[in-house]
Structure 1
Amino acid sequence: MKVSSKFISIILIAVATNSYATDKKVASSHGIDYPMGWQNWSTIAVSHRTDNNTSRVILGNNIAVEAARSGKTNPWPNGAILGKVVWKDTELKDWKSATVPDEFVHAEFMFKNSEKFKESYGWGWARWVGLEQKPFEKGMQVCISCHTPVENMDWVYTHPAKFPK
């Protein structure tokens, strides 16, 4: 199987992300508390957006990872939290056909709770911007509007990557 250099660089991002931890207090976003310890969650998938040249690592808490690995994601179970960590891409200096993370853009999360988030399709949506992790100011409707094309996939774009057993 041929593995693209872009995929390899994104996997390296995931490894680097999982080794970072923070103790700082971060303000809530859309009334949702910052999920402390997300930097140690497992990778569910990676993605690359060509429209804005960003690389993304999609992480999950234990509930989300178990659902992803077992294919039980439509719907995702209550208690699942998905995190998407986003960086701008830049060309790798010593390997021109590869891109690597550059500027950190944001970390965004989806919290599955069918009761608590009834009015937002069972999901709480939150985003923190920049390395300072400032709460996203524009409200959950921005997130919901973006995810409308995948409402038949429980509002989630992520296609979990297959991992060997």
Structure 2
Amino acid sequence: MKYTAQVLISALAMALPGMSPAGDIPGPSHGIAYPEGWQEWSTIAVSHRTDNNTLRVILGNAAAVKAARSGQTDPWPDGAILGKVVWKDVQLENWEEATAPGEFVHAEFMFRDSDKHSETHGWGWARWVGLEQKPFDGGMQVCIACHTPVKDRNWVFTDPAPFPQLR
């Protein structure tokens, strides 16, 4: 699963304009700077939303991955950043039982800092839309409203996927 997600993220990274070292970094979303380098983060989980037919890879920075792998997500630690990369779900032409990422929708992030973001439940919420990675202008309250059903889960929908712990 991690390999598949890394392939998807690598393909996405190559397709995103402005993500090359010579390119421009997208502007802030909700006053939060674009998290440079997220394309290299590790996978925490994947999800498929059947209500809007989207596929999602949930990524994390080093702090989020460490917390996910050790079960320390209630609450997520300060410094953790969760990223959700979203594509429209498309049917594979030669494999009826499978779907794959189609049109890129957005990349959205939750930045855990219980002091800095105390007014928004300890999380900073940001989203960049389309391959152009335009800052989402719908307001942070749009994110919070969507996540309200999981307020008792530290505002996070994702359950980290189990990964083998080989020694």
Residues 1:110 and 2:102 aligned together: no
1:40 aligned partner: 40
Partner AA of 2:9 in structure 1: T
Match of 2:29 in 1: 29
Residue matched to 1:149 = 149
Partners in 2 of 1:65 and 1:18 — Cα distance? 18
Cα 1:51–1:14, aligned 2, differ >3 Å: closer, same or farther? farther
Task: Indicate conservation of the 8 Å contact 1:18/1:41, yes or no.
Answer: no
1:74-103 CA-to-partner distances (Å, cap 9, x unmatched) read 100000000000000110111011001100
- The equivalent residue for 1:75 is 75
Question: 1:118-160 deviations in whole A, cap 9, x for unaligned?
Answer: 0000000000000000000111001001101111110000000
Secondary structure of 2:79's match? coil
Find the counterpart in structure 2 of residue 12 from structure 1: 4
How far apart are the structure 1 equivalents of 2:138 and 2:8? 29
The structure-2 alpha-carbon separation of the partners of 1:149 and 1:11, relative to structure 1 and needing over 3 Å to count, comes to farther
TM-score normalised by structure 2 residue count: 0.90
> Which 4+ residue blocks in structure 1 deviate beyond 6 angstroms?
none
Q: Percent identity?
A: 65
> SS of the residue aligned with 1:16?
helix
Q: CA RMSD in A?
A: 1.5
Residue 72 (structure 2) pairs with residue 60 (structure 1): no
Question: How many residues are paired up?
Answer: 157
Shift of 1:66: 0.2
* Aligned amino acid, residue 94 of structure 2: D
Gaps of 5+ in 1: 1-7
Residue aligning to 1:96: 96
**Does the 8 A contact of 1:14 with 1:57 survive in 2?**
no
Length-normalised TM-score, structure 1? 0.91
